Structure 1
Amino acid sequence: MGKKYELVKSKVEVKDLTIEDAIEALKSLKYVKFDETVDIALNLGVDPRKSDQMVRGFVVLPHGTGKTVKVLVFAKGEKQKEATDAGADFVGAEDMIEKIQKGWLDFDKAVATPDVMGAVGKLGKLLGPRGLMPNPKSGSVTFDVAKAVKEIKAGKVDYRVEKAGIIHMPVGKLSFSTTSLVENIKMAVDSVIKAKPQTSKGKYLKRLVVTSTMGPGLKVDFNSVTLTRI
């Protein structure tokens, strides 16, 4: 780690902070010129190796992520116009599949209608590892492409627990107001709580850490964040 990072880290007390205090601390300790992304890491009491304890879902952040998202929609016929009217950046079917097979990946999220998923499936090895494959569980395989595109553009974030039992999510930019970041984080945590598997036993929410791109990780008191009690 660099000297600036270590200096910043040394100024932070080792204790659980309220989410408001944690955001204010990240803002006060900022030392780089670019607008950093704020992320949260949730350590959950689940075993992702068991299929019935997998935690995944999505949340539409009330204040967005602060990032411009390029959306690709795989669709045919009238659904192509519906996707374009909703703000999709790229729309197509076999033509877009062929373009991706040749190496094009200049998009951030993909949506597909169910009737073209058979053809889109051949892109699994290309899109899957990059988290770009449309998936029914995330709402990105749907005939309501207008709704899907608008949600993504508005700040929809997909999440999935990792092998270590941790979920990472971007929740905005450090330039956002503290109130906006707090509301985004509360909505994100609430979504994860509601996604709790019925087979999960013991303590579900074990640890919450908030950080910025170049800032330290700050532990947050869950009592200052949770909307839904579990």
Structure 2
Amino acid sequence: MFLSSVSRPSKQSIHYCLRASTYHLPPAGLSSRHFSSSSPAYIRKVRSRPAPTKAKLAAKERKNALKARKSIYENEKKTLVDAINILRAVEVARPNSTYELVVKTAMKRGTTIPKGRINLPREARAKTKDRVLVFAEGRQADEAKRAGAEFVGGTELIEGVANGRYPATMYLCTPSLIRAITPKLGRILGPKGLMPSERRGTVTEDICGYLKRISGSSEWRGDKAGTIRSAIAKMNFPAVDVIRNARHFLSVVKAATGNTTVNDERQRKNGTKPVNAITRVILSSSQGPGIQISDV
């Protein structure tokens, strides 16, 4: 007797049944994905803010200025009188020490290095006489010689100046000769700050008057960073003389850098800004510390 053969399920059908039982496959004919739709949202309208007024902008600037972090040296500022007394106490054993005033300016790009000449009410150091060379001819040359110029001449002095034959500390020129000397001496005297120019007043018709104005005065000038240093008094000077010298020096520097009241009014009318804004004024001595001045 023969037994009927029973068909065994295949491996593929077994695998399909396992997958269906594990993932709960939906019945045939039904979709497994459900879609939904909603009404489109309205576009949000952005309201334009009104432009702030000048009063609001000023109030905002004052608020930000109060929040701004102050310098750690802000509380160490002293008045000029207090700074003089402190330095005098430090230099009690050195009566011949010198007070030095340091003025720091903003020195923005494109501005010229501040410089000028000054006559202090009471000089702190012995003045050195300037050796003046004047490019002039005719009557102006004779007046320059009588006024005390050491070297006077025309275009024949150009080669000697280029070779260093004339050790002058100041150069003046008349307007008629400036075009003749500029091409040859501009690169030599320009980097030294000695080239005559109309802006500084060293190109002038009145050579004699200019020499009279600068007689007895000393030159001051800043460095590339815009820092100006000058000795203003000796330690054995009375405090009144030190204050007078310091105030006078600061007034000259403010006029040269465009920080005076008169220049401010002109700048408001013309819509221009100061040439170099003064950022700090410091008084120091030979062995003493640098003290920032508050009343300048």
TM category (shorter chain) comes to: 0.5 to 0.7
**Is 1:60 aligned to residue 134 of structure 2?**
no
Inter-CA distance 86–167: structure 2 relative to 1 (3 Å threshold): farther
Aligned length: 201
CA contact (8 A) 2:141 2:152 kept: yes
Say which SS state the counterpart of residue 133 (structure 1) adopts: coil
Higher relative contact order (CA 8 A, sep 6+): 1
Per the alignment, residue 179 of structure 2 pairs with 118
Measured after TM superposition, the shift of residue 123 of structure 1 is 0.6
**Is 1:104 aligned to residue 165 of structure 2?**
yes
Q: How does 1:1-230 map to 2 (within 5 A)?
A: 16=78, 18=80, 20-21=84-85, 24=88, 28=92, 30=94, 39-44=100-105, 46-51=106-111, 54=112, 56=114, 58-63=116-121, 66-68=126-128, 69-121=130-182, 122-157=184-219, 159=221, 162-164=223-225, 166-171=226-231, 174=234, 177=237, 182-194=243-255, 195-196=257-258, 198-200=272-274, 204-211=277-284, 215=287, 218-223=290-295, 226=296
Inter-CA distance 184–82: structure 2 relative to 1 (3 Å threshold): farther
Matched residues in 1 for 2:236 and 2:203: separation? 31
CA contact (8 A) 1:39 1:170 kept: yes
CA contact (8 A) 1:59 1:158 kept: yes
Inter-CA distance 74–190: structure 2 relative to 1 (3 Å threshold): same
Say which SS state the counterpart of residue 134 (structure 2) adopts: strand
CA contact (8 A) 1:48 1:55 kept: no
Of Structure 1 and Structure 2, which has the larger fraction of its residues in strand?
1
Say which SS state the counterpart of residue 73 (structure 1) adopts: strand
In structure 2, runs of 5+ residues without a counterpart are 1-75, 260-271
TM-score by length of 2: 0.55
Inter-CA distance 26–167: structure 2 relative to 1 (3 Å threshold): farther
Structure of higher CA gyration radius: 2
**Superimposed CA distance per residue, residues 136-180 of structure 1 (whole angstroms, 9 cap, x where no aligned partner):** 2221111111122123332152535x543x232435574894555
Identity of aligned residues (%): 24
In structure 1, runs of 5+ residues without a counterpart are 1-13
CA contact (8 A) 1:29 1:215 kept: no
